[in-house]
Amino acid sequence: MDHWPKDVGIRAIHFVIPSLYVDQTDLEQHDQVSEGKYTVGLGQKQMGFCTDLEDVNSLCLTAVSQLIENNDISYSDIGRLEVGTETIIDKSKSVKTVLMKLFEPSGNFQVEGIDTTNACYGGTAALFNALSWMESSAWDGRLAVVVAADIAIYAKGNARPTGGAGAVAMLIGPNASLVIERGLRGTYMNHAYDFFKPDLTSEYPVVDGKLSIECYLNALDQCYKSYLSKCGGVGANVDLNEFDSFVFHTPYCKLVQKSLARLYLNDFLNSDAKDENYPGLGQYKDVHLPATFFDREIEKTFMERSKTVYEGKTKPSLLLASRVGNMYTASVYSGLVSYLVSLPPEYLSGKKIGVFSYGSGLASSMYSIRVVDNGLPSLIANLKKGIDRLEERIRLTPEQFTEVLEVRQKSLHQAPYTPVSNKDQLFPGTWYLSHIDEMHRRYYERKE
């Protein structure tokens, strides 16, 4: 069909990370756990976190305003703005409506879109909504902005080192550098209580760790099967060799290495020439995928066999995940950012990137991106400026980190409230919560 807008996808990306972080080695010592439990066992190096000065509204205000400024766009050029998040601070008023504050000077109030909410998947659903709008009769020719943002924090215990925070804002339009491949999407949805937040008085989730891993890996299997079915059907022989990179939602980095190995296992089981293409693995040719989620022997074997593939296609995508942590809905897009800055722009053009997005509860999709040279150098240059911020952050001790989380928890839903943390620690250009009045209305200012 020739009536579709050409090369619809991501034209620009901007990401926001907290200005504060805690080192995972310090956390291991503070928590009195075995050396390497967080750094090797989970694959995490550092974890970013926010004080009571920042919430999901402020993260999105910062991400969207900086995306617009860095790419010399007018707010009048935006016809859709959608937020993907699971961090809910108001049961009625959407984050998107708060972001309309940025549009006031332009006089542009005709902006479609609203919040899309689901653990770790809201950003992907928001992206799909923006793409659908652009390919529909409702599209008015303007651009869309999708912003995914979350603050991931946990109660004291094994899950706390898997926290993080951040936001990724994406400019969506035709003639994009990162073209979303049409018709190539696999989705798997189901009902599970693997991770959820039933207590509205707390930022902390309820987590069933083992079930969460099982749900994640099963969703990966199902999405891969669905995606491959769109690639030409039986006999197409599509496998990991089709992709130059594969990025995953990253609760913690070690799970991503296991996930790449999981796709390798799928390829092995799908192969019509197992002995030729996968020598030495014959004893596994009849395994039943659902029975292998916690099979240590199979996991170890296929992680070892896929190590070279992982090092080339997926490890470069874990830069932000390892140094900032889990950003929930923004996580998989921080992986995309990390991969894009790992290669010079001239080597990126023509690359195909597989994307797996997972959200507990559960929702998951797999799709692919084709990199083209539509303003690619500019996109990469802006991303590298953001990466430089990793070295400008302030390192706090585990004791200070714990104190920050206690302040956040105690201040939750307080009104009136004025944040007590130090604004000087914020990066320039950051929006922050200035105060909450007696009616729970939130007010924001921007640090110059």
Select which of 28, 86, 203, 299 is catalytic. Answer: 86
Q: Residue 85 — φ and ψ, nearest 5°? A: -160, 165
For residue 319, cis peptide bond before it (omega within 30 degrees of 0):
no
One DSSP character per residue, 223-256 reads HHHHHHHTTTSTT----GGG-SEEEE--SSHHHH
Q: Are 309 and 278 in contact (CB under 8 A)?
A: no
Residue 66, token pair as written in the block: 């900086």
Residue 181 annotated as catalytic:
no
Q: Residue 310 — φ and ψ, nearest 5°? A: -60, -45
Residue 86 annotated as catalytic:
yes
Residue 383, token pair as written in the block: 């991303």
The closest alpha carbon to 123, from 350, 389, 367, belongs to 367
Half-sphere exposure of 247 (CA within 13 A, CB side): 25
Select which of 82, 249, 253, 299 is catalytic. Answer: 249
Query: Which of the 8 DSSP states describes residue 92?
Result: S
Select which of 50, 120, 215, 253 is catalytic. Answer: 120
Alpha carbons 339 and 320: distance in angstroms, whole number? 10
Residue 271, token pair as written in the block: 């192969």
The closest alpha carbon to 165, from 379, 413, 405, 398, belongs to 405
Residue 249 annotated as catalytic:
yes
Active site members? 86, 120, 249
